[in-house]
Structure 1
Amino acid sequence: MRTHRIRVSIAISCFCLLWIGGFTSLPPRELLGIAPRDEGYYKSDVIKCKDGSKKFTKQQLNDEFCDCPDGTDEPGTSACPEGEFYCRNAGHIPRTIFSSRVNDGVCDCCDGSDEYDGYANCPNTCWEAGKAAREKLKKRIATHQDGLAIRKQKVEKAKQAFAEDEAELLKLKNEEKILKRLVEKLREHKERIEKAEEEERLRKEMEEKKQREAERESTEQNKPSEESPQYQSEGTQDAPMEMNSQKQVADNHGESITSAHGSDDVNNEIPSGHAADQEHISENTEGLSREELGRLVASRWTGELTEERTNEPNDANGEQEQQNQDFSDSAEEENYDSYNSDNDEDRHKFDDDDIQDVAAEEYGNHVEPDGSYDHDKDYKSEFPGSPSWLDKIKQKVQNIIQAFSFFKSPVDLSEASRVKEEYDDASSKLSKIQSRISGLSEKLKHDFGKEKDFYSFYDRCFEYEQNKYIYKVCPFKKASQVEGHSSTQLGRWENFDESYRVLQFSNGDKCWNGPDRSLKVRLRCGLKDELADVDEPSRCEYVAILSTPIICLEEKLKELQQKLEDMNKRQPSTHDEL
């Protein structure tokens, strides 16, 4: 019986010890309230206050007397009002509380370490309470592990894209230099064409003006003859008239011609054809009957005689026409010879060999980078399967050589049009290249992170719909809040903050009687790029969360793994026992 009582007493004692151990697992008193990262700070015999104001010995550590104004010597007691107490909370999440809460009768730490004087019974609930926290931490670790793999792929692509854009920018600048020279030559060539066309136009206008003046003079000279139809009509109506009347008409006609010119030198002023007709009439009137003489006079006014004479071969007229043609050709040739001589020197500048040498000189030392970026999609869309850019440049140079041959003859309108089209086409391509150069220069000047991590964010926008608003964030540009058809600018791109963990936008639209709007976008590790949780904690100051694999860093993954390990390694032994 006595042995049985002893066994029961031992069992009760053991149970009590185990029950007491379940309340708390406390570190040594001198380490109470000290965070593991600060344990090395308290190892020396003489310890400095963290604010540098004083020194104290290890015996003064947690002695319930405040020696340091900042509470460095009393991390485990409530002696210093500025002190802080660290709860280890093994199995759960550690936390820091004000030292004034130590031994105040309230269990602030789940491990009960803040109420060690025994006035409050604080069981250790960290393991059960920390179960959800541990599960959440495990999910974060898994996300970081998968995100890290995605990040590596994204960073590799970003580095490659950045290098390709740099190479493209260099290539475009070289092409711009060559194309500028080509456009300048085409422009000079076009101006020469326009000058030649203008001179030809002026020459034609002058010829047309002289022709109109000649026609006007001829009309004025023939003006008296325009009255003849009256006599002709009368002569036709009075067909039975006597030959004396017809002769009188002929006499009147002679008088009218003489009076119209007011001079006997009529043959010097009237056209040669009329003079010849008059002479022919006078030669053939003799021996004619009155009826034949009447017909002859009538034919003079109707032009039948002139027509007949025109159709007859006339060696003199042929020679005169040939002389006129020779004179016209000579004048025309003289005009173009004069123009060609002015442009002779310029034309020699575009000899075949010289232009090919220029192209060879420009491209001789130019090396295309491997895998260069397809910088001009417009060109390829316009010319599918077309030759390379260099071949097209050379072809344009050959076109210039061919086009310049027209200066040896009057302006060929089709050739001139082709040269102008080439100039317009080259100018358009130059504008596209210059626009692309400007865009790439603007893009490449930004800070994209140490490994160009955020290069893929350029030219991208992230949207999030919340209530009646749509929030739109465009890194490196701007952020806005859209409601229906109205848009409010939340800020323009400023920079990264907190070691590339925050996107900062500032100088947005001004609030009514308030500051300019601003936005801070905090980056969080996630498996895809996604904007979420937009809030306005202060007036016109917005915050948001952007999940992205780019922020899934290896050092953060190690930190989380260590945290989980710390939560698991100090599981209270009583849980296994009980």
Structure 2
Amino acid sequence: MMSSNYMNLVLVSTLLTIVVSGSVEHTVLRGVPAAQLSKYVSSKPFSCLDGSSTIPFEFVNDDYCDCRDGSDEPGTSACPNGRFFCENKGYVGTTIPSHFVGDSICDCCDGTDEYETKIVCNNTCFELAQKTRAEHEARRALHEAGVAKKMEIIKQSVVIKADREARLREFEQSLEKLESELKEKEELKNQAEIPENEAKEKHQKIWEEQRAVREAIAHDNQMREMFAELDTNNDSLVSIEELQKHTELDTDLENEFTAEEVRTILGADAVNFDDFNITVFDQISNSYKKLHEPIIETPVDVNDVVASTEAYLKQNDEQGQEQHHEEEISEEQEDEHDFDQHETPSPVATSLEHEKHIHDDTVPEYDDETKRLIQTADHARNEYHDVERRVHDVKREIEDLKRQSDVDTGVHGEYSAFIDQCYDYEEREYTYRVCMFKDAKQIPKGGGGEVIVGYWDSWVGPTTNKYLKMKYSNGATCWNGPARSLTVTFRCGIEHKVVDVREPTRCEYAMIFETPSACDETIASGTQHHGHEEF
């Protein structure tokens, strides 16, 4: 076993660096932060910090890597994964990779990483400390000014919330009254529409009956005219030879209009007026054309047509009664006489050109009583619809107020100023518009439709303060890609404004938004603890 004197000699020679300045010597264990000095005790073996092994203490900082984590060489560059601690007195201690030690480059502001080289490192810790303090003060002043505005927003949010609740109660009370009034107006409207509808139906029925009479007269006149034109020999019959002249009735256009085809239409070799009316007219009326050029006649009023037709029929009736007192005539004469009773004389306007006058579909004007009932019903309907619109408006106001109440605007309502507010950010090709708690859009400057980047989703900040980020999701789908989305990161600022928008990942946008609502009271008061990562 080694003597204690020998052990002490080894420890002095291997663990301690002797710095000679005149006749004074200093011993230093380099590269170890103060928090870990208790683990480096020269009087007992050293256990690697990862627990992988235990070595004699003289192996620490012997420029040979014994521990897998490099913890046995904190003051040398022997271990590729080792860490060297820069004390940086007057500033903030930092840790650098151990292979930076002795590389002739000053990495520590106090230059302690180059203790074994001839490089002279200027101590810049004081200047860095001054710069850092200035940055800290500027940051603190920014947060202080922002917090002042944030307090105003919070105070105003309390007023807004109280006002919103009061308005909500008023609208709900108003809605209750309006819905009761709407029921009354609806009952009055229904009562007024009953006699109105009855009068309209009566008017419509009378008009339809009159139109049916006119159409019947027109049909009869058209049929009489067609029979008279077809009966070219005036024998009160339409024969196969007479109808065969109208080849437009031939449905088989490839062959001639044969007698058999005509007989199929007539149902016999010839038909009299009554049979023609019953079986033939409807078959041919749509295709039938006159053989001669139509005569251009002066338009005749439908009332004149009706009057002339009725006068003619009355005259025929009187003539028929007189003929019963005359001598017996032959059967052929009786048939001719029978046709004469149905034949329409030429002065009566029954041509097809007058059909548009007979089939007049214009409903006549309502009578004064019906007009009065319609006016009364219109007034009741207008009053009903007026109250209905007011009910709709009040319901929309209530929905808006409830929606605003449901929005999470922060623990103290610090983001309440954002409700129903939109903010734009201009870049080269697009304008990005975020409407808080609603949606975000990308608007092309060169024209074209706007694109929804996302709809308001939730707060997604860190667990320490979720209100530092918000998410907009389920935007328009990218071409062969995912749906667009936007993450808004808030940071302290004097005004509400977007300061940057980027697309770090395809279809996933990132926005930086400055606002007093994100300012921190602890930073403003200067009580926040700053670790070295702050610098």
Please give the range of the TM-score, normalised by the shorter of the 2 chains. Answer: 0.5 to 0.7
1:420 to 360, 363, 381: 381
* Distance in 2 (alpha carbons) for counterparts of 1:46 and 1:161: 69
* Distance in 2 (alpha carbons) for counterparts of 1:445 and 1:46: 64
* Distance in 2 (alpha carbons) for counterparts of 1:478 and 1:163: 27
Map 1:375-394 onto structure 2 (within 5 A). none
C-alpha displacement at 1:562, in angstroms?
5.6
Given that 2:61 and 2:75 are in contact with CA atoms closer than 8 Å, whether structure 1 keeps it comes out as: no
Q: Which residue of 2 aligns with 1:122?
A: 121
Within the alignment, does 1:469 sit opposite 2:430 as a pair? yes
SS in 2 for 1:472: strand
* Distance in 2 (alpha carbons) for counterparts of 1:146 and 1:467: 32
C-alpha displacement at 1:85, in angstroms?
4.2
Q: What do the CA deviations read for 1:384-422 (whole angstroms, capped 9, x no partner)?
A: xxxxxxxxxxxxxxxxxxxxxxxxxx9877765543332
Map 1:177-188 onto structure 2 (within 5 A). 177-188=176-187
Matched to 2:384, the amino acid is Y
Map 1:137-148 onto structure 2 (within 5 A). 137-148=136-147
* Distance in 2 (alpha carbons) for counterparts of 1:46 and 1:153: 62
Q: Which residue of 2 aligns with 1:548?
A: 515
C-alpha displacement at 1:201, in angstroms?
5.1
Given that 1:162 and 1:452 are in contact with CA atoms closer than 8 Å, whether structure 2 keeps it comes out as: no
Q: Which residue of 2 aligns with 1:359?
A: none
* Distance in 2 (alpha carbons) for counterparts of 1:143 and 1:437: 39
Q: Which residue of 2 aligns with 1:322?
A: none
1:452 to 399, 409, 413: 413
Superposed CA RMSD in Å reads: 5.1
* Distance in 2 (alpha carbons) for counterparts of 1:504 and 1:470: 19
* Distance in 2 (alpha carbons) for counterparts of 1:150 and 1:191: 58
Q: Which residue of 1 aligns with 2:154?
A: 155
- Higher mean alpha-carbon deviation, 91-100 vs 559-568, is at 559-568
Q: What do the CA deviations read for 1:478-535 (whole angstroms, capped 9, x no partner)?
A: 3233222233433333322222222333343444454444333322211111211333
Matched to 2:100, the amino acid is R
* Distance in 2 (alpha carbons) for counterparts of 1:451 and 1:48: 51
Q: Any gaps of 5 or more consecutive residues in structure 1?
A: 1-15, 21-25, 228-255, 261-409, 569-578
SS in 2 for 1:123: coil
Q: Which residue of 2 aligns with 1:527?
A: 494
Q: Which residue of 2 aligns with 1:368?
A: none
Pair 206,470 (structure 1): closer, same or farther in 2 beyond 3 Å: closer
* Distance in 2 (alpha carbons) for counterparts of 1:439 and 1:46: 72
SS in 2 for 1:528: coil
SS in 1 for 2:105: coil
Map 1:366-377 onto structure 2 (within 5 A). none
- Higher mean alpha-carbon deviation, 421-430 vs 195-204, is at 195-204
SS in 2 for 1:158: helix
Map 1:283-298 onto structure 2 (within 5 A). none
C-alpha displacement at 1:145, in angstroms?
1.1
Map 1:107-256 onto structure 2 (within 5 A). 107-117=106-116, 120-200=119-199
Q: Which residue of 2 aligns with 1:280?
A: none
Matched to 1:452, the amino acid is G
- Which structure dedicates a bigger proportion of its chain to helix? 1
Q: Which residue of 1 aligns with 2:524?
A: 557
C-alpha displacement at 1:99, in angstroms?
3.6
Q: TM-score, normalised by structure 2?
A: 0.53
Given that 1:30 and 1:61 are in contact with CA atoms closer than 8 Å, whether structure 2 keeps it comes out as: no
C-alpha displacement at 1:77, in angstroms?
5.7
- Higher mean alpha-carbon deviation, 187-196 vs 422-431, is at 187-196
Pair 538,461 (structure 1): closer, same or farther in 2 beyond 3 Å: same
* Distance in 1 (alpha carbons) for counterparts of 2:68 and 2:524: 38
Map 1:198-347 onto structure 2 (within 5 A). 198-200=197-199
Q: Which residue of 1 aligns with 2:9?
A: none
* Distance in 2 (alpha carbons) for counterparts of 1:49 and 1:128: 36
Pair 207,479 (structure 1): closer, same or farther in 2 beyond 3 Å: closer
* Distance in 2 (alpha carbons) for counterparts of 1:206 and 1:125: 106
Q: What do the CA deviations read for 1:426-452 (whole angstroms, capped 9, x no partner)?
A: 100111122223333334333222122
* Distance in 2 (alpha carbons) for counterparts of 1:168 and 1:101: 68
SS in 2 for 1:176: helix
2:456 to 482, 493, 504: 493
SS in 1 for 2:467: coil
Matched to 1:554, the amino acid is E
Matched to 1:473, the amino acid is V
* Distance in 2 (alpha carbons) for counterparts of 1:50 and 1:161: 58
* Distance in 2 (alpha carbons) for counterparts of 1:516 and 1:184: 47
SS in 1 for 2:112: coil
Matched to 1:427, the amino acid is E
Q: What do the CA deviations read for 1:340-371 (whole angstroms, capped 9, x no partner)?
A: xxxxxxxxxxxxxxxxxxxxxxxxxxxxxxxx
C-alpha displacement at 1:83, in angstroms?
4.9
Pair 519,202 (structure 1): closer, same or farther in 2 beyond 3 Å: closer
Given that 1:86 and 1:96 are in contact with CA atoms closer than 8 Å, whether structure 2 keeps it comes out as: yes
C-alpha displacement at 1:464, in angstroms?
1.9
* Distance in 1 (alpha carbons) for counterparts of 2:127 and 2:147: 31
Pair 449,121 (structure 1): closer, same or farther in 2 beyond 3 Å: same
- Higher mean alpha-carbon deviation, 529-538 vs 63-72, is at 63-72
Q: What do the CA deviations read for 1:536-562 (whole angstroms, capped 9, x no partner)?
A: 334444333211111111123356876
* Distance in 2 (alpha carbons) for counterparts of 1:54 and 1:544: 46
C-alpha displacement at 1:454, in angstroms?
1.4
C-alpha displacement at 1:424, in angstroms?
1.2
Q: Any gaps of 5 or more consecutive residues in structure 2?
A: 1-19, 214-302, 323-370
SS in 2 for 1:500: helix
SS in 1 for 2:113: coil
Given that 1:523 and 1:546 are in contact with CA atoms closer than 8 Å, whether structure 2 keeps it comes out as: yes
Q: What do the CA deviations read for 1:208-250 (whole angstroms, capped 9, x no partner)?
A: 9999x9xx9xx99xx99xx9xxxxxxxxxxxxxxxxxxxxxxx
Given that 1:90 and 1:567 are in contact with CA atoms closer than 8 Å, whether structure 2 keeps it comes out as: no
Given that 1:56 and 1:67 are in contact with CA atoms closer than 8 Å, whether structure 2 keeps it comes out as: no
* Distance in 1 (alpha carbons) for counterparts of 2:436 and 2:383: 41
2:472 to 501, 505, 508: 505
C-alpha displacement at 1:423, in angstroms?
1.2
Higher relative contact order (CA 8 A, sep 6+): 1
Given that 1:193 and 1:411 are in contact with CA atoms closer than 8 Å, whether structure 2 keeps it comes out as: no
Percent identity, aligned pairs only? 31
Pair 201,445 (structure 1): closer, same or farther in 2 beyond 3 Å: same
